[in-house]
Structure 1
Amino acid sequence: ITQHKHQHKMLQQLVYYLPQDTIFTRIKCLPTLNVLKRTFILYTGQQYKMKDLSQPFASGYKPSEVEQGWYPWWESRGFFRKHGASKKFVMVLPPPNITGHLHLGHALTCAVQDAIARWHQLQGDEVVWVPGCDHAGIATQAVVERYLWATQGVTKHQLGRERFVNEVWKWKEEKGTVILDQLKRLGASLDWDKFVFTMDKHMSEAVTAAFIQLYDSGLLYRKKSLVNWCCSLQSAISDIEVDHVYLTGPTELNIPGYEKPVTFGMMYDFAYRVNNSDEELVVSTTRPETMLGDTAVMVHPEDERYSHLHGKCVFHPFRKDVIPVITDAVVDPQFGTGVVKVTPGHSQEDFDVGQRHNLQQLTVFDEKGKLTDIVPEFKNLPRFAARQAVIEALTEMRLYHGSKPHPMMVPRCSRTHDIIEPLLKPQWFIRCSDMAAKAIDVVQKGELHIYPETYKKTWNEWLENDIDWCVSRQLWWGHQIPAYCVTSEDGEFWVAARSRDDAKSKVAEKEGISESSIVSVCQDEDVLDTWFSSALFPFAAFGWPRHTDCLEHLYPTTLLETGHDILFFWVARMVMLGLHLTQELPFKGVLLHGLLCDAQGHKMSKSRGNVIDPIDVIEGASLKVLKDRITSSGKNGTLSSEETSQALQKQTSNFPNGIPECGADALRFTLCSYNFKNKLLSVDVNSIEQNKFLGNKIWQTVRFLLASMEKVPNGIECASRVNITQRSADLSTMDKWIMSHLAQLVHNANQNFVTYDLHHITLGFVTFWQNHLCDTYLESIKPVLNEGSCEARSSALSTLWTCVDVGLHILSPFMPFLTEELYQRLPRYAKKCESIMQCDHPKTEEFMCWNDQELEESVNHLLLVAAAFRAIKATYNITHSRVHGSFVCLNSHLNTVLVENLEVVKKLGRIASLTAIDKNTSPPTSSSASTTCDSTIVYLHLKGVIDPKQELVRLRKKMSKVQKEETKITSIITAPGYIERSPAHIQDTHQRKLASLRAQLEQLLFIVQNLEKM
């Protein structure tokens, strides 16, 4: 055990060569030794044994106890790796950022991918699922900067580049360990031997190789261009990191570095005087402070109002120079005065105009957001303080013409919430047009599949925009750009190279100069965009650019599953670079999931206090624990004071009782229960808790099965599947009915795993286990298990055991912990696999002989009859089973089914006895309640069971209450102006409520009339 990175890496490599049946106990070093807060591995030389299940079967399901112990056993036994299979399934986990802990969005990715990976493993495929973490340049640097300022009171500039980067590595070690622990708690069956961090040495080699290849092929170039500049970060950021906020009018925004809010949503008018004239041209702008960098004013060439000014100049009141009046068709003559100011150094549109008209590009703000010296009197003024200063100066010169409210779009940094400034900086760009065309082509030809297909249109729209990719970032954390400025006696030359010496030789050869004439070689201090290294992930993870066995065997991958929000920023770029650098698609399919929202449909964010840590759902967390964590985030700088206050306030309303303990299985199952292909998914913690109760239902079913098997002589012989390939005449109607539904469950699972519609599988499982197996079949066989013949009991137990065993296998990709525990506890007459992970998934063709739609329809009628008896009992408030029922069935086939299964109807209908009445026989007396379901009339004999007088009193009171509610709703919807005043969804709610109340009144009236006849 060592604190040194290179020695720790050697230890990791050594451990990988130890036998698979060796125990690996994860331990934490003492604080005095654990400088880097690493998690180390200790080789104890002992065999890791399976979880001890010798204790009695617990009476209830406890996730914390069930989920304990299985993951390290799976991992040590090598169950996550299966070699030698003829078919491969390869997938990479989208590497989470090391900015902090995983949230529910990551849990969704993990749950969906793990379910798919486990299903493929149960199909016998060789499954390789590669884990990793992303260094997340901008995001990580920003959070570490805030952390250092909040905890140590130092800035990155005070530390210097080397010490600051060391601090970020410390952050990575701590957060990276937590992330890996979270993934394991979720049960992710990842191949940890292949873990990749995007700043690992071999990833750096891949980044360098890719950059040089792109440069040598003419796809990389360097030029001065406008970038999205965040003054707080002092770096360029990508388009995805810019939030465009729409303001309808004057709005005060809090800007980092300013004590008071700054007003946006205003249009300011000022005038330029025509040179050597008293004539003025009034222009409008939302950023008057940028006029200091204006280098032209512009009018439409066909606007006759200004035709006499073509080729003239106006006088700049601050720089004391003149700027031209130019004409361009881009101007809208109908907007404002039809005169537009042009600031090529502060607007992409103006920059393009400046390129067409050869205008000077002046930089108004420096990297910190302060004014440059283009106008000395305003030098070093913060940009938004300069706004007022400029307005006051224009007013004194009688050039200011006032302001008015104006809707506008404000670009804000998603990390710091600062206002983004377009800034001219030398940057590296990748030419994307050819690569983008190839990416469009592979989708159109069907070589790359995108699920759902609706995103093909988005794919084409993004890639058809011929925009080059700016890959340089002014940061300290990230892959330093492998490009060098080589200065010689003949000038400066930029070149991509692996080292300074390599740069010298490449420039000397290309330019035909002597290396001795080279004066200096300096590497570009900027780093590469995080998306650049991420785009290499699916092939660099397997060793590219080296020709490794892994790359040969596992690349290209099978499927990429990720959020639809990064379809262009990550997925498209992986496809473009994969095709260019490896001449192959990096994956064959792309599966996109939606973005998680809270139960109210709000996007999850720390400031809203609705971001959920998956571990809190797994273990549970009180409101105090949640609030303490928010407070801690505020103290360490992760959240601003404003965000902390908002989060604390909203957390109380979001989680008034904290978050209940639900377990990893319930969380996974719930996340897979959503149609994750939708754009937005609303997650409710209550639904996760409901699926914990489903886990308990499954637990109790197995417990009932085991208890029943103990009561039957040679019960262990029932612990094997019924003959699934051949129907048996020995089984009862209900046995065959549940086997038919089991066959459909297997078919549904296999079919929807292929199409990635996991929500259909989870819904099908719940329907089968809760409705068919527990609520119906189990209840129907209880009389058989208690009083039936030995053969009937054995058949029922074998059928129940088969349903449980197959059901657990269907469920195992979603609830791996619970299913492993129950699989190991389930007795088995035949030999069983070491783990449920090693079993074969039930195959559709093996069960389809049991699929019997005609039988299901017959039994469904039987169930309707039983439900009718329960409904009558509920209507008359009868809670006991000491009542007699009878029925008349007009369909001879259905009548036979009912007669053959009277005990089943009795049990499910919760009545004491049941009689079949011939259709030609007179119905029972008026002392019975009746209802009709399809072709059967059922009667419940009420004489001596209820007191009609007391029931009439109760029911009339209930009718009175319902009538009052009906009158109230009616008065609301008939009130004057209701239709014009009330929203459509409110009117719809009222109408549905009214219909329900009237239906209740109709039913109550029928019952009262029936009782009055008794």
Structure 2
Amino acid sequence: WALSELGLGSQLSLNWVWGLSGGSGVLTLPELGLGSPPELGLGSLSELGLGSPPDVCSPLPDSYSPGYVEAAWYPWWEGEGFFKPEFGVSLGSTPNPRGVFVMCLPPPNVTGTLHLGHALTVAIQDTLTRWHRMRGLTTLWVPGCDHAGIATQVVVERRLQRQRGLSRHQLGREAFLGEVWRWKDEKGGRIYQQLRRLGASMDWERACFTMDPGMSRAVTEAFVRLHERGLIYRSRRIVHWSCALRSAISDIEVEKKELGGRTLLKVPGYSEPVEFGVLVAFAYPLEGAGEDPELVVATTRLETMLGDEAVAVHPEDPRYQHLRGRFVLHPLTGRRLPVLHDAFVDPAFGTGAVKITPAHDAADFEVGQRHGLGVVSVIGEDGTMVNVPAPFQGMPRFQARSALLETLKARGLFRGVTENPMVVPICSRSKDVLEPRAVPQWFVRCQGLAEAAAAAVRRGDLKLHPATHARTWFTWMDNIRDWCISRQLWWGHRIPAYFITIDDPAVTPGQDEDERFWVSGRSQDEARAKAAATFGVSPELVSLRQDEDVLDTWFSSGLFPFSVFGWPEQTPDLERFYPGSLLETGHDILFFWVARMVMLGLALTGKLPFKEVYLHAIVRDAHGRKMSKSLGNVIDPLDVIKGVSLQELHQQLESSNLDPAELERAREGQKRDFPEGIPECGTDALRFALCAYTAQGRDINLDVGRVLGYRHFCNKVWNGAKFVLRALGGGWRPLPKLEVSRLSLADRWIRSRLSRAVRGCGAALGAFDFPGATTAVHGFWVYEFCDVYLVRGHLGTLGTLGTLGTLRTLGTLVPPRPCTASGCTSSATCTWYGDIGDTEGTLGTLGGLGTLGTLRGLGTLGTLGTLRGLETLGTLGTLVPPRPCTASGFMSSAMCTWYGDIWGHWGH
């Protein structure tokens, strides 16, 4: 078969003998729609950045090299279409009786490159996908990238400022968006390269980006439908506001910094640190003062006092019972402010009397709503003072804080400062101190949606793993608040809503926060027609202004499970692959992403978007710290795979957006953690280590040294396979039928150990117990097969060493390893026997790639069963896919033996 699709320029001729449960026949790869496996050493895949593939047709090299083993297999897998659900089957025919397994990759943000947290996701998801594919299910794993509105806009703005000294406002909206698209193209390609290098068996022809035209159409459709149903509305509410970004942000982008008392913090835009963690007490003069001439309040945010609308005390506080119905006078403006009695006040906090600023505090806003107070913003979108007396107008908020303190002292109204432990909200993107602001925004009405999502888990229709997360799910769903979905950004899906102006004096002009004057539409023409019908006027009298804001990234991400398949169109993919089988992601976004996918899926499709959710742990560094670029502990998976020097790690920091102080701190962190750099570990070792580390519900403190330890395990697999091949010799031939009665005691023992390992591995994967799966395979190979069976020289007259079975099991976790390690000698002749115990399903399972990174239904080329005496190699295929492929490679004259789908035959 020509290898031109791989750019290798040579041909490989193979004879294949096929026997199914005693029957026989001859099939050639072209008859099955297959090209040939990698003819290694004959060409280069440099255009893919993977180097030349290893030569499985020659004796295995003396020493194990991850680069040699892993280089060739992925482009061949992808080129042959092994990752596509259509492979080998007609999707329009009778459904696969073994079922369908569908999963979407949580789309990485195009803010940069993948880190080890993403690698953990890939390791787990690829293991599950390969395992289900090996078991004969039709599998589909969909890749994609997320536009990540705020995060991407911030990094592009920083680069623009650093390289060209320009802000986005100086550049202009259209030119700036052009810069972001160029960034996306650069980073998106890098992310897909990383995913391929990690061995992710995804259907790349279905890859998508959340701002692709089809995805954008789905976002518009979802907004319009929900708005028409009253589930999206516009209102003025308190939001987290970043003055640096001039936008509202989501809860997940809020970092809470705990302070034990007085603390100086650096705030963007201020040359000097700002003081936090103190309570400033000052006096409000009482109107008609009698025995008590003043009411003292204490606050941590003195600058907001210019927007105070009342003072509140607890209704049962005996100190203030005499103030019912009384008023105080604002110390700077003289305005009369009521003294409210409200149970939300904590009598033990400060003086027991609190100032009420509805425009700049969530609790105060609710108090204001209960008591009919005004909402006057005194801090603008850029963090400067607005709607305030002249001395303070236009002053940055924290400068105003200092100025107000001096003014109160000068007027004799200052009553002291005390330390106060507090939590300061920080924007994770801009590092700015967040400002609560009451601004008109778009919201999703969540109560009904949350009730349906909670009921799905209570009924068992949606299963959460580990089950302990159900408590968190119910807490959030039962106490949910409406979701702010508008962001004051340029990068993202622009909100398909329009403000209405009617050219008719009979229609009173509306205000921005007046929902009646807003209409949604799939186009301006549709929106104009809606507006004309609402106000009973001719469309010619209607003028529309589209909202400048964009939608929260989580809104478009929440549509991902069905928009990726073409919704709202009723496409064949939507019919076949929605709902999905599993959603696998980190537990930290259970509410922000998982819950919203469930709510939006039920609301827009009437179906749960997936049947199960597995929530994995969060990767931290060896010291238990969160991964952060400023700490120098963010690790690119490719650096672990290929190895990297300390100098190269430092060079990577130079190209980041860190400021000089952060850059120096990051360098020191790298020197401390990686004084000699990071050694080459390979994809297989990294994947195996991540799966072995995974403990349900806990964080992972990842030590790169332990990853290196699993490279040594891969080396042991390599050496074990070489030992078997050398011991069997080039003239070895397998018998066409296994005669158990002729097996030695040692042979029967090792096969029983293999059977136990396979059962343990399969049961562990079914229970999402990835450490259990790695332990089963690792323990068998090291402590039973190598330390006992091989060391004592039990090669078996029939060659039934159990090696192939282990490599096949390993193939889902470390795909390249089994493919390489099961290669046969130049004169080996092998027979492939069909799926023992399920022969009728063998050719019907060609829709999935085999354990070892090829075809399950075709003996998982690479594992292929070259030697029945290599049956343990296949067991490794779910964990380290490339290794079994390479070890089970064959010469041009080879014929192959494959004994059974061990998942189906041995204990699954």
Q: Is the 8 A contact 2:53 2:70 kept in 1?
A: no
Q: For the pair shown, which has the larger CA radius of gyration, 1 or 2?
A: 1
Q: Distance in 1 between matches of 2:201 and 2:152?
A: 27
1:779 Cα deviation (Å)?
A: 1.1
1:822 Cα deviation (Å)?
A: 2.1
1:494 Cα deviation (Å)?
A: 0.4
Q: Is the 8 A contact 1:479 1:527 kept in 2?
A: yes
Aligned to 2:496: 482
Which structure 2 residues correspond to residues 336-347 of structure 1 after superposition, within 5 A? Answer: 336-347=350-361
Aligned to 2:719: 700
Question: What secondary structure is seen at the aligned counterpart in 2 of 1:181?
Answer: helix
Aligned to 1:657: 676
1:320 Cα deviation (Å)?
A: 2.9
Of 174-183 and 676-685, the range deviating more from structure 2: 676-685
1:679 Cα deviation (Å)?
A: 2.3
> For 1:79, which of 68, 82, 86 is the aligned residue?
82
- Amino acid corresponding to residue 830 of structure 1 in structure 2: T
Q: Is the 8 A contact 1:50 1:73 kept in 2?
A: no
1:815 Cα deviation (Å)?
A: 1.2
For residues 662-681 of structure 1, give each alpha carbon's deviation from its aligned partner in whole angstroms, at most 9, with x where no partner exists: 11111111111123423201
Aligned to 2:520: 496
Aligned to 2:555: 532
Aligned to 1:188: 200
1:425 aligns with 2:415: no
Q: Distance in 2 between matches of 1:337 and 1:677?
A: 46
Q: How many residues align?
A: 782
Q: Distance in 1 between matches of 2:415 and 2:469?
A: 48
Percent identity reads 48
1:224 Cα deviation (Å)?
A: 1.1
1:139 Cα deviation (Å)?
A: 0.6
1:679 aligns with 2:698: yes
Aligned to 2:832: 831
- Amino acid corresponding to residue 174 of structure 1 in structure 2: E
Aligned to 1:232: 244
Aligned to 1:467: 481
1:385 Cα deviation (Å)?
A: 1.1
Aligned to 1:612: 635
Q: Distance in 1 between matches of 2:727 and 2:35?
A: 37
1:584 Cα deviation (Å)?
A: 0.6
Aligned to 1:510: 534
1:136 aligns with 2:145: no
- Amino acid corresponding to residue 694 of structure 2 in structure 1: N
- Amino acid corresponding to residue 476 of structure 1 in structure 2: W
Q: Distance in 2 between matches of 1:721 and 1:286?
A: 82
Q: Distance in 2 between matches of 1:327 and 1:75?
A: 69
Question: What secondary structure is seen at the aligned counterpart in 2 of 1:658?
Answer: coil
> For 2:382, which of 359, 365, 368 is the aligned residue?
368
Q: Distance in 2 between matches of 1:393 and 1:459?
A: 49
1:421 Cα deviation (Å)?
A: 0.3
Q: Distance in 1 between matches of 2:857 and 2:814?
A: 16
1:593 Cα deviation (Å)?
A: 0.3
Q: Distance in 1 between matches of 2:442 and 2:651?
A: 44
Aligned to 1:550: 573
1:640 Cα deviation (Å)?
A: 2.4
TM-score in terms of structure 1 length: 0.75
- Amino acid corresponding to residue 307 of structure 1 in structure 2: Q
1:562 Cα deviation (Å)?
A: 0.3
Q: Distance in 1 between matches of 2:554 and 2:379?
A: 27
1:330 Cα deviation (Å)?
A: 1.8
The 1:369/1:715 distance shift into structure 2, 3 A limit, reads same
The 1:722/1:147 distance shift into structure 2, 3 A limit, reads farther
Which structure 2 residues correspond to residues 302-341 of structure 1 after superposition, within 5 A? Answer: 302-341=316-355
Which structure 2 residues correspond to residues 423-462 of structure 1 after superposition, within 5 A? Answer: 423-462=437-476
For residues 421-476 of structure 1, give each alpha carbon's deviation from its aligned partner in whole angstroms, at most 9, with x where no partner exists: 01121100111111100001111111111101000000000011131011000000
Which structure 2 residues correspond to residues 578-597 of structure 1 after superposition, within 5 A? Answer: 578-597=601-620
- Amino acid corresponding to residue 146 of structure 2 in structure 1: D
Q: Distance in 1 between matches of 2:274 and 2:371?
A: 34
Q: Distance in 1 between matches of 2:857 and 2:754?
A: 16
> For 2:275, which of 263, 271, 279 is the aligned residue?
263
Q: Is the 8 A contact 1:809 1:841 kept in 2?
A: no
Which structure 2 residues correspond to residues 165-204 of structure 1 after superposition, within 5 A? Answer: 165-204=177-216
Q: Distance in 2 between matches of 1:516 and 1:537?
A: 38
Question: What secondary structure is seen at the aligned counterpart in 2 of 1:419?
Answer: coil
1:567 aligns with 2:590: yes
1:839 Cα deviation (Å)?
A: 2.5
Q: Is the 8 A contact 2:52 2:72 kept in 1?
A: no
- Amino acid corresponding to residue 273 of structure 2 in structure 1: P
1:541 aligns with 2:568: no
Q: Distance in 1 between matches of 2:37 and 2:539?
A: 57
Question: What secondary structure is seen at the aligned counterpart in 1 of 2:742?
Answer: coil
1:161 Cα deviation (Å)?
A: 0.8
For residues 801-833 of structure 1, give each alpha carbon's deviation from its aligned partner in whole angstroms, at most 9, with x where no partner exists: xx1110110000011111111234475521389
- Amino acid corresponding to residue 337 of structure 2 in structure 1: I
1:729 Cα deviation (Å)?
A: 3.5
> For 1:742, which of 737, 746, 754 is the aligned residue?
754
1:641 Cα deviation (Å)?
A: 2.3
1:688 aligns with 2:707: yes
1:242 aligns with 2:254: yes
Aligned to 1:394: 408
The 1:584/1:75 distance shift into structure 2, 3 A limit, reads same
Q: Is the 8 A contact 1:22 1:76 kept in 2?
A: no
Q: Normalized per residue, which structure has more helix?
A: 1
- Amino acid corresponding to residue 680 of structure 1 in structure 2: D
- Amino acid corresponding to residue 61 of structure 1 in structure 2: Y
Question: What secondary structure is seen at the aligned counterpart in 2 of 1:559?
Answer: strand
> For 2:732, which of 715, 726, 750 is the aligned residue?
715
1:657 Cα deviation (Å)?
A: 0.9
Q: Distance in 2 between matches of 1:825 and 1:271?
A: 88
Aligned to 2:417: 403
Aligned to 1:762: 774
Q: Is the 8 A contact 1:92 1:131 kept in 2?
A: yes
1:306 Cα deviation (Å)?
A: 2.6
For residues 941-987 of structure 1, give each alpha carbon's deviation from its aligned partner in whole angstroms, at most 9, with x where no partner exists: xxxxxxxxxxxxxxxxxxxxxxxxxxxxxxxxxxxxxxxxxxxxxxx
> For 1:646, which of 662, 665, 676 is the aligned residue?
665
The 1:825/1:721 distance shift into structure 2, 3 A limit, reads farther
1:108 aligns with 2:132: no
Which structure 2 residues correspond to residues 948-959 of structure 1 after superposition, within 5 A? Answer: none
Q: Is the 8 A contact 1:298 1:331 kept in 2?
A: yes
1:99 Cα deviation (Å)?
A: 0.4
1:750 Cα deviation (Å)?
A: 1.6
For residues 738-771 of structure 1, give each alpha carbon's deviation from its aligned partner in whole angstroms, at most 9, with x where no partner exists: 1111110111122112111121111111110011
Question: What secondary structure is seen at the aligned counterpart in 1 of 2:734?
Answer: helix
For residues 255-305 of structure 1, give each alpha carbon's deviation from its aligned partner in whole angstroms, at most 9, with x where no partner exists: 111111111111111001112437011100011111111111112233343
For residues 388-416 of structure 1, give each alpha carbon's deviation from its aligned partner in whole angstroms, at most 9, with x where no partner exists: 10000000000001101110111110112
Q: Which runs of 5+ in 1 are unaligned?
A: 1-18, 25-38, 43-47, 786-792, 844-1014
1:382 Cα deviation (Å)?
A: 1.1
Aligned to 1:65: 68
Q: Distance in 1 between matches of 2:142 and 2:684?
A: 21
Aligned to 1:942: none
Root mean square deviation, CA, Å? 2.4
Q: Distance in 2 between matches of 1:335 and 1:119?
A: 57
The 1:512/1:715 distance shift into structure 2, 3 A limit, reads same
Q: Is the 8 A contact 1:594 1:679 kept in 2?
A: yes
Q: Distance in 2 between matches of 1:329 and 1:818?
A: 66
Q: Is the 8 A contact 2:324 2:339 kept in 1?
A: yes
Q: Distance in 2 between matches of 1:406 and 1:721?
A: 80
TM-score in terms of structure 2 length: 0.83
Q: Is the 8 A contact 2:597 2:609 kept in 1?
A: yes
Q: Is the 8 A contact 1:497 1:503 kept in 2?
A: yes
Q: Is the 8 A contact 1:564 1:679 kept in 2?
A: no
- Amino acid corresponding to residue 70 of structure 2 in structure 1: E
The 1:258/1:595 distance shift into structure 2, 3 A limit, reads same
Q: Distance in 2 between matches of 1:737 and 1:102?
A: 44
Aligned to 1:1000: none
Question: What secondary structure is seen at the aligned counterpart in 2 of 1:368?
Answer: coil
Aligned to 2:810: 811
The 1:420/1:49 distance shift into structure 2, 3 A limit, reads closer
